[in-house]
Structure 1
Amino acid sequence: MAGIVSRIPFALSGRTTAAATTFGLDGVQYHFALGGMPWLSAINDERRMTRSGAPVRKEQVDQQTIPGEQSLASWWLRSQSSFIGGAGVLYQDPSNDNQYAIRFHESVGVNPWVNGRLTLLRTTALRVADGTANPHHVVGWNDGTDRFWSAVGTALKSDDGTTTTTITWGGANTIRSLTSDGTNYYAADDVGIYSGAGNSAGAKLWDTGSVNVVIAWVKGRLMAAIDNKVYELVGGTPPALPTAKFTHLNPAFTFTCFAEGTNAIYAAGNAGSQGEILKFGLDTSGSVPTLSSGGILAAQLPRGEIVHALTTYLGAFVGIGTNRGFRVGQIDDNGDIQYGPLLIENSSGVKAIAAYDRFFFVAATNGIEGSSGLYRVDLGQPLQGGDISPSVRFAYATDLQAHVAGEVTGVTNFGNSDRMVLAVAGQGAYLESASTLEPSGYLTTGRVRFNTLEPKIFKFATVRTPSPLWGSVGVAVLDPGGGETSILTVSQGGSTTIENVVMPAPSSATEWVQLKLTLMRSGTDTTKGGEVNAWQLKAMPGAVRQRIITVPLACWDFETTQSGQRVGYEGRTFDRLAAFEQIFARGDAVAWQDLRNGTSDLVVIDDYRFEQAAQPGANQSVYGGVLWVELRTIADVVV
């Protein structure tokens, strides 16, 4: 038939070409193309093409037991009013156990352990200087006044926080180990074990004969480990050592520490790359419990991990310091130790542990911004489930700071007080202040991303502080590019709640941000400082908004272009509808081209309908009508 363009074939599989296949004009003036199929426009006064924005939020049904921020409309919210879950969170996203609401990423110099309050920790002061490279040992005691003994090199001293007293302890060589029964000190060197009361001079009790000596007062008795042997220091003919209670089968095995359990004494040590904890049972049938068995394996560390320090607490918990970091274990009914995963990893290892209240205080060698101090582990705040078990991880955070680098070789309670003492080799023994706070400290939250990788526009920040506020509080935003931008500062005496402060950064939509909360000490009272009770972020979706395009397309057997060119054939409508419905059925993204102005987008066909009607004018044919399509553009994608 003259003047009729040849039939255009259309694949019916819907999978033979790429989703973004485009149509190129080739002699016929079409108006649009969808998925590579050309179409003439059916737009007129009654059939209008429309373009509108697609909704970005969907209706939510909150099925949580406790309503949360996901129940609220409009803004995307994330807030926090408790920090007792400790450090270690990367993303501040909801989880099944809701730990995100009480945890944070990291902190320095702040105390998160009081529910609803983030405050400054107390500072420390050097009390006993140490210019040697030897391990520095500290043991707390009280004779009506809180004190601690300090042993480093050949010197033994006592300090009450005001006065340091040098003690003539009886020996002349490097002190290898130090312990106390509460009243008397016991100091061991490679010659002997010496003891004295309080600040008094000491005298030799037992021989040692080795630099590999460790002593401890456990279960009401003095225990010693020398090389691969364990001694209960009673009986015999002092100063000659009594018969060893246990000799390890490996002569290269060296004991490093003791601890006491409910019905056993534990001794830990190492041979090469293998660390072990042995238990020594107690016979309580007599008036005085005696060691009834010894050298039974209570726990074995993973290959390559050796034990440096061991502390038991409250009859159930065991703190284990190793060359890799710190673990928490439990004593079972058989007296064996079941330990959990590494809670704190420190490449310098952990060589000292103490306990007070519900906490373990753990050596943090160069673990606080390159300087040394302590970690604090909260045994009252188990994470990843509520039951206490070896697999449970506990809340922890960095704690006291010495503000110097060096190996932390000792930590102890300062007498009967809640103050701690830590010793840094080559630096000295540092005592926690009774009231003076750190000059500053900070906490960074986890990354707030609302459980999606889609970009967000972070708009407002809110911080709540007490009234009156002492010191000051600064809030900054950290972005994925590494930038840190100050948002606000609450000065001393400032408002209790600073709401909806516009965030100047990030300048564009981003996947996540963190908040950095900086607390400063008061300039007029060193015992008071900044405090944060809660924070909140407000954001909204930041992806490029999608558009909804509704357009009528001509779908007839025969059609006439604007230039008067006639196209088509009998049955063309059925073929084109079948091809179109194949594209629609597969649900893939397709190219939408407006051939009139040369623009194109990648779209998804949300819906369509075909309306059959008599075509007026010159375009009458056997079959045809108008194909209405509803298209949704895909954000950030143009073809």
Structure 2
Amino acid sequence: MAGIVSRLPFPLSGRTASASSSYALADVAYDYAIGGMPWLSAITDDRPMTRAGAEIRKDQVDQQQIPGEQSLAGWWLRSQSTFVGGAGILYQDPSTDNQYAIRFAESVGVNPWTNGTLTLLRSTSQRIGDASANRGLVLGWSDGTDRFWYAVGTALKSDTGSVTTPITWGGANTIRALASDGTNYFAADNVAVYKGAGNGAGTSWTTTGTANVALGWVKGRMMVALNHEVYETDSLGTKTKRFTHLNPSFVFTAFAEGTNAIFASGYAGAQSSIYKFVLDTSGNVPTLASGGVQTAQLPLGEIVLSMTTYLGSFVGIGTSRGFRVGTIDDNGDIQYGPLLISNLNGVQSIAAYDRFFFVAATNGIDGQSGLYRVDLGQQLAGSEVSPAARWAYATDLQAKVTGEVSSVTNFGNTDRMCFAVTGQGAYLESASTLENTGYLKTGRVRFNTLEPKLFKFVSVKTPLSLSGTVGVSVIDPGGADTSIVTISEGSSTTIENVVLTTPMTAVEWLQLKVTLGRSAGNTSKGGEVTGWQLKAMPGSVRQRVFTLPLLCFDIEKDRTGQKVGGEGRTLARLEAFEQLFARGDSVVFQDLQSDVSYLVVIDTYRFEQKAAPGNNRSNYGGVLWVELRTIADVITA
């Protein structure tokens, strides 16, 4: 059976001038107007007009893999009880991988790497001072006593952390590279590589003839790069050339070893590459096959300055733009990930210990120098062999001076790190003394919406008997950093539901700053935080709902007895109102007796006709019920 179809007589949505128009009273004493259409009230005892608050929350279904605060009724909550995801997030908002629950925005002087707690890092002290412009080189070693070598300018020294010993290394010019086979040092200048044992005197071991020298003890042999050439040496220092780059301007910068190959990085102009040298095992003693194969090409303008492999799988790549983590695939090739840490001062050196890379941070910690730490045990994105792989990181040890971090190393066989700052000297991590203070800033808490929020309470969990101090402040969108509360040393209480007196008004987001202080009586202990929580409420202007009964008859009479209308008026007005409703746009609702008006949307309506009109359709009509929801404050008419 065919149906009759006609086009809609009005658009389903859109803005029109009439939707936002107002009505001015004239001859008839109308009670209300909606979108410029006047109406008489149909209010009686049986048909009341109501005003109510609109529901601001909606029912939600929690479909995340891990139940969280979004599944709780009442407050809007955001909390965190571990910080092992490291720095780098802007907003502390839920995501499919729940990184917001383990990451933060930034930190200085604090250690987030123990699950469930935030503590102070150990401090550093200057062991050897040097104000010259020469780049310092540090290299850890041990002869039963943990030590490090420090080369700067024409001087080479050994330091135990308490005693510094000058070394007669054999050369007289600026030391350009420093390496070790575990027992002996190899110090290179523009004349030769000099070899010596421990603190002993060195002698010339093999010639160099250039200041562009790179050394690396890899795969049980010393590799030497001179300008654009790569050499393998034997125990006597005899060099065998293994590769000559086609571009004589190419300069090799670093060596590292893979599972079955040796890697060498370098650059020419704005182009930088990493080459692979495969071991030839056909003889009794494995040697390098002649010729290098390019295994990685860096983006144009990004130069490899340093390189370290670790645990047979990971490659730390320090560049002129920052730091990348790469992995070694089954073919022995390098797949590197995105720029993990940006630092336009460049990363000149990398060391490794436990599950971490320790990365040079030139002027990268509140404008001063020190180290970054990258956690290879905490992967944030991609698979281990994926170019998109990302890893947790944060700032680490501080020198609290400015200058290029030119070298970093492990201190002997310990978990302590040592690094050199150009123009300042060599810095060593303390065995037990903590930083005097440190802080962590959370991401911006905005509950995944741009709507304003009223932040009401903050809680910060600490050990029951606190060593050191914990301070809490809030940072608002205007940049103000306002202290909220401080827990003093020895306190047995935690910060629980402390009222936030600032910001005074609703804001889009709020950020917490937690500051830890060292114990006044024990330098090896300090403040500790195990978690935080913010409580907030929606801060949008609360909406109101008006439910009105309106007369909708052919002929109507106002309160003064004035009649208005005529036959056919009801249907015309009803259709005109339905067009207004169907547009879905906001309209002006006027209370003409009170002389106030509101910007509203028409949520719903219904027309009630209690009795059928007579045969002559005399005074056809009924009551029009409308439900209006405010979307703006009161507008004075």
TM bucket (normalised to shorter chain) is over 0.9
Question: How many angstroms does 1:614 deviate by?
Answer: 6.5
Q: How much has 1:545 moved relative to structure 2?
A: 0.4
The answer to whether residue 476 in structure 2 is matched with residue 476 in structure 1 is no
Question: Secondary structure of 2:113's partner?
Answer: strand
Q: Is the 8 A contact 1:12 1:579 kept in 2?
A: no
Alpha-carbon distance between aligned partners in 1 of 2:634 and 2:278, rounded to the nearest angstrom: 71
Aligned to 2:531: 534
Q: 5+ unaligned residues in a row in structure 1: which ranges? A: 1-10
Partner of 1:555: 552
CA RMSD of aligned residues (A): 1.8
Determine the C-alpha separation between the residues in 1 that align with 2:580 and 2:479: 44
Aligned match of 1:85: 85
> What's 2:117 paired with?
117
The structural deviation recorded for 1:583 is 1.7
- The one-letter code of the counterpart of 2:99 is Q
- Give the 3-state SS of the residue equivalent to 2:464 in structure 1: coil
- Aligned-partner Cα distance in 2 for 1:18–1:622: 27
Give deviations 1:23-58, integer Å, cap 9, x for gaps: 233443321111121111112333221111111112
Q: Deviations over 1:482-535 (max 9, x none)?
A: 111111111112135321110111111111000000000001100000000000
Name the count of aligned residue pairs: 623
Q: Deviations over 1:336-383 (max 9, x none)?
A: 111010000001011110000000000000000110000000000000
Where does residue 282 of structure 1 map in the other structure?
279
Report the TM-score, using the length of structure 2 for normalisation.
Answer: 0.95
1:96-107 correspondence to structure 2 within 5 Å:
96-107=96-107
Per the alignment, residue 128 of structure 2 pairs with 128
What do residues 407-460 of structure 1 show as CA deviations (whole Å, max 9, x unaligned)?
000000000000000110010010000000000000000000000001110000
Change (3 A) 1:388 1:638: farther
Tell me which residue corresponds to 1:224.
224
* Matched residue, 1:5: none
Q: Which moved more, 1:605-614 or 1:38-47?
A: 605-614
* Alignment correspondent of 1:420: 417
1:407 aligns with 2:419: no
CA offsets, 1:552-608, max 9 Å, x none?
111110112233322111010011111111222232221111111221111111222
Aligned position for 1:494:
491
What does the per-residue CA deviation read over 1:223-260, in whole Å, with 9 as the maximum and x for residues that have no partner?
A: 1101111111128xx77x63421110001001111111
In the alignment, the residues of structure 2 paired with residue 126 and residue 636 of structure 1 have an alpha-carbon distance, to the nearest angstrom, of 63
Cα displacement string for residues 88-144 of structure 1 (whole angstroms, at most 9, x for unaligned residues): 010000000011000000000000000001000000000011121111100000100
* Aligned match for 1:297, one of 294, 298, 319: 294
| 1:171 maps to amino acid | G
Looking at structure 1, the residues matched to 10 and 415 of structure 2 have their Cα atoms a distance apart, in angstroms, of 80
Q: Is the 8 A contact 1:477 1:487 kept in 2?
A: yes
- Superposition map of 1:245-260 within 5 A: 245-260=242-257
- The 3 A distance-change label for structure 1 pair 220 and 503 is same
1:187–1:195 Cα contact (<8 Å) kept: yes
Distance in 1 (CA, whole Å) between partners of 2:411 and 2:152 is 18
TM-score w.r.t. the length of structure 1 is 0.95
Q: Establish whether residue 45 from structure 1 lines up as the match of residue 42 from structure 2.
A: no
| SS, match of residue 485 in structure 1 | strand
Quick one: structure 1 residues 583 and 116, their matched pair in 2 at CA, closer, same or farther if it must change by over 3 Å? same
Task: Encode CA deviations 1:48-85: one digit per residue, 9 max, x unaligned.
Answer: 21111111112222222321111110001000000000
Relative to 1, partners in 2 of residues 1:314 and 1:19: Cα closer, same or farther, differing over 3 Å?
Answer: farther
Residues 40-49 or 51-60, more deviating: 40-49
User: Helix, strand or coil: the match of 1:329?
Assistant: strand
Instruction: Give the residue type in structure 2 aligned to 1:585.
Output: A
Identical columns (%) = 68
Distance across 1 between alignment mates of 2:405 and 2:350: 10
Aligned pair in 2 of structure 1 residues 508, 445: CA closer, same or farther (>3 Å)? same
Tell me the equivalent position of 2:336. 339
Out of 345, 361, 368, which is 2:358 matched to? Answer: 361
Q: Secondary structure at the match of 1:577?
A: helix
Q: Deviations over 1:161-218 (max 9, x none)?
A: 0000000000010000000001000000001100100000000011111111111111
Q: Deviations over 1:239-297 (max 9, x none)?
A: 7x634211100010011111111111111100000001011110224332100133210
SS at match of 1:318: strand
Tell me the equivalent position of 1:349.
346
Greater displacement, 158-167 / 386-395:
386-395
Equivalent of 1:315 in 312, 323, 328: 312
Aligned residue in 1 for 2:4: none
Q: Which moved further from structure 2: 460-469 or 25-34?
A: 25-34
Contact 1:51 1:550 in 2 (8 A): yes
Question: Could you tell me how far apart the structure 2 residues matched to 1:317 and 1:637 are?
Answer: 63
In structure 2, which of residues 424, 428, 436 is the aligned counterpart of residue 431 of structure 1? Answer: 428
Counterpart contact for 1:382–1:388, Cα < 8 Å? no
Q: What CA distance in whole angstroms lies between the structure 2 residues aligned with 1:242 and 1:185?
A: 18
Q: In the alignment, residue 150 of structure 1 is paired with which amino acid?
A: Y
Do the aligned partners of residues 501 and 388 (structure 1) sit closer, same or farther apart at CA in structure 2, a change above 3 Å counting?
A: farther
1:454 aligns with 2:438: no
- The list of structure 1 runs, each at least 4 consecutive aligned residues, that deviate by more than 4 angstroms after superposition, is 11-16, 385-388, 635-639
Partners of 1:636 and 1:285 in 2: CA distance: 86
After superposition, where does 1:625-636 map in structure 2 within 5 Å?
625-636=622-633
CA contact (8 A) 1:328 1:390 kept: no
User: Letter of the aligned partner of 1:521 in structure 2?
Assistant: R
Pair 1:252–1:386, CA change in 2 (3 A): closer
